[in-house]
Amino acid sequence: MGTKVLLVGSGGREDAVARELVKGGASLYSAIKNRNPSIISLSREHIVCDETDFTKIHKFAIEHGVELAFIGPDPVLETELAEKLMSSGIAVASPDRKAARIETSKEFMRDLMTRYSIPGNIPSRVFRSSDEMKNFLIKNGKEYAIKPIGLTGGKGVKVMGDQIRNMEEAVEYGSSIIERDGRVLLEERVMGEEFSLQVFTDGTHVKPMPVVQDFKRAYENDTGPNTGGMGSISGPDGLPFIRKTSVEKALTIITMIIDALRKDGSAFKGVLYGQFMDTENGPVVIEINSRFADPESMNVLSLIRSNLCDIFHGIAQGNLHKNVEFEKKATVLKYIVPRGYGTKPEPGVLSVEGKSLPSNLRLYYAAVSGTLEKVEMSTSRSLAMVGIAHTIPEASDIVEENLHLVKGNFYVRHDIGSREMMERKTSRTMA
């Protein structure tokens, strides 16, 4: 029997992790909040609980003699789970609470970048008074991203000139955050193409993954409300509309942040990912996150050649020396979601024909329960379908050609990775 690995989390991101761990020889023990049928089918044992109930999960891990743990969702990283597991002699391939502040506190992240003179920072300011914030906005005259300090699930940030149409709405939204949280973060708005760069790190060594772009808007042509992510794309050699020099600089920024955390007494071990904007002046940091991205993790894990269980051991033990290898192919992920997702979701039941998928397609189960064949949707994302090909449009076509394998009342963004989208993006970049 292989290493006993605890996996915390029950979304599509964790399903992808689970499959790679089992493929790498691990015996899987899962703590899940919804009865994800794929993760359950891969697990020797599982517990259904609130994923932030670290006491119950710690007890489950001890009872089953777990040797290695990986934590998926960001709210769990804000609990004492990692510390509790390590204090019991269990190796953990995820950051502790102190290191996870790089995500759980946007104020801490900006301050760290400032203190260590890390490039790519954005001018920002924290306000605790609505009147002070209002006076600053009026006097400054610039557009800002208005953010809660803590976790938002990808849905709490609103940008002036985009989701926020005028000064009145900006003050109202910022004030609502102050009233709820006691403070709000304003960051100068930057323009460009966003991209995500994920890395494995043991606190010293940094191993990058392929660069990915996520699409958060609910509707086609990037319209509608923000969501946790409707889909994502990666290319065989980067993304054609993101400059390679920007990706290289982004990796340097991530490495400097990891070095700064170590020097600051908060050594980071696990998966770290940066969300960047490729501006005319180079990449700037939109945010730094202390775990796999969702959905971008599924793009890279669909391509990984190295043994993920070995990687997690290297992270936990501080000896992540070997290179991590990925197939040089394109991927396109499209999330299947309930009708009305992003506004008023209407969950139902999906029929899935998943037993004979083509080799160039992956189907991951997300916030669902039921069985592998009869999926009970929640109000969140349901299934992630990933096409793998030599080009991004070809990978998009693979998803489209196989959507018939899922039957039911659902919505999907067909435009993600399409030829029309890629032509529009590349032509804009060349101009």
The percentage of the chain sitting over the pLDDT mark of 70, rounded to a whole number, equals 98
Residue at a domain's end among 48, 72, 92: 92
Asked whether residue 403 is assigned to any structural domain, the reply reads yes
How deeply is 385 buried, as exposed, middle or buried, from its count of CB atoms within 10 A (0-12, 13-18, 19+)?
buried
Q: Give the mean pLDDT of the chain.
A: 94
- Choose between 429 and 293: higher pLDDT: 293
At which residue do the structure tokens 């964790």 appear?
A: 14
Give the pLDDT confidence score for residue 429 in this predicted structure. Answer: 62
Distance CA 43, CA 5 (A): 10
Q: How confident is the model at residue 188 (pLDDT cuts 50, 70, 90)?
A: confident
Q: How confident is the model at residue 136 (pLDDT cuts 50, 70, 90)?
A: confident
Mapped onto helix, strand or coil, the DSSP state of residue 304 is strand
Name, in order, each residue with C-beta under 8 angstroms of 409's C-beta and a sequence gap of 6 or more: 338, 339, 346, 348
The percentage of the chain sitting over the pLDDT mark of 90, rounded to a whole number, equals 79
Residue at a domain's end among 92, 109, 135: 92
Q: Are 260 and 112 spatial neighbours (Cβ–Cβ below 8 Å)?
A: yes
Give the pLDDT confidence score for residue 81 in this predicted structure. Answer: 97
Asked whether residue 87 is assigned to any structural domain, the reply reads yes
Among the residue ranges 53-62, 150-159, 190-199, 411-420, the one predicted with the least confidence is 150-159
CATH number at residue 174: 3.30.1490.20
Residues 44 and 128 in one domain: no
Residues 88 and 146 in one domain: no
Residues 85 and 175 in one domain: no
Q: Mean per-residue pLDDT for 233-254?
A: 97
Q: Mean per-residue pLDDT for 4-31?
A: 98
Asked whether residue 129 is assigned to any structural domain, the reply reads yes
Distance CA 104, CA 413 (A): 30
Residue 430 pLDDT exceeds 80: no
Q: Are 66 and 90 spatial neighbours (Cβ–Cβ below 8 Å)?
A: yes
Residues 157 and 69 in one domain: no
- pLDDT per residue over 87-97, tens digit each? 999 999 999 99
Asked whether residue 48 is assigned to any structural domain, the reply reads yes
- pLDDT per residue over 30-60, tens digit each? 999 999 999 999 999 999 999 999 999 999 9
- pLDDT per residue over 386-403, tens digit each? 999 999 999 999 999 999
Residues 431 and 338 in one domain: yes
Residues 88 and 154 in one domain: no
Whole domain around residue 41: which residue ranges? 4-92
Distance CA 260, CA 258 (A): 5
Identify the bridge partners of residue 282 per DSSP, sorted by sequence position: 279
Residues 425 and 333 in one domain: yes
Q: How many CB atoms lie within 10 A of CB 146?
A: 27
| Amino acid in the structure at residue 167 | M
- Choose between 406 and 174: higher pLDDT: 406
Residues 65 and 149 in one domain: no
Asked, as a colleague might, if the bond just before 95 is cis with ω within 30 of 0, I would say no
Q: Is the dihedral of CA 178, 181, 187, 193 positive or negative?
A: negative
Give the pLDDT confidence score for residue 155 in this predicted structure. Answer: 62
At which residue do the structure tokens 């039921």 appear?
A: 370
At which residue do the structure tokens 């399409």 appear?
A: 418
Half-sphere exposure of 134 (CA within 13 A, CB side): 11
Distance CA 321, CA 47 (A): 34
Q: Mean per-residue pLDDT for 339-348?
A: 95
CATH number at residue 15: 3.40.50.20
Asked whether residue 314 is assigned to any structural domain, the reply reads no
Distance CA 198, CA 291 (A): 9
Give the pLDDT confidence score for residue 408 in this predicted structure. Answer: 97
Tokens coding 123: 């001018």
Mapped onto helix, strand or coil, the DSSP state of residue 135 is helix
Asked whether residue 385 is assigned to any structural domain, the reply reads yes
| pTM of the shown model | 0.93
Residue 261 pLDDT exceeds 60: yes
Asked whether residue 73 is assigned to any structural domain, the reply reads yes
Asked whether residue 246 is assigned to any structural domain, the reply reads no
Distance CA 68, CA 61 (A): 9
Give the pLDDT confidence score for residue 171 in this predicted structure. Answer: 85
- What's the number of domains the chain is made of? 3
Residues 334 and 431 in one domain: yes
Residues 132 and 66 in one domain: no
Residues 128 and 64 in one domain: no
Give the pLDDT confidence score for residue 165 in this predicted structure. Answer: 83
- pLDDT per residue over 312-324, tens digit each? 999 999 999 889 9
| Amino acid in the structure at residue 155 | K
Residues 88 and 136 in one domain: no
Q: How confident is the model at residue 167 (pLDDT cuts 50, 70, 90)?
A: confident
CATH number at residue 428: 3.90.600.10
Angle at 286 between CA 183 and CA 18, to 5 degrees: 105
Residue at a domain's end among 162, 188, 214: 188
At which residue do the structure tokens 């304003």 appear?
A: 186
Q: How many CB atoms lie within 10 A of CB 224?
A: 16
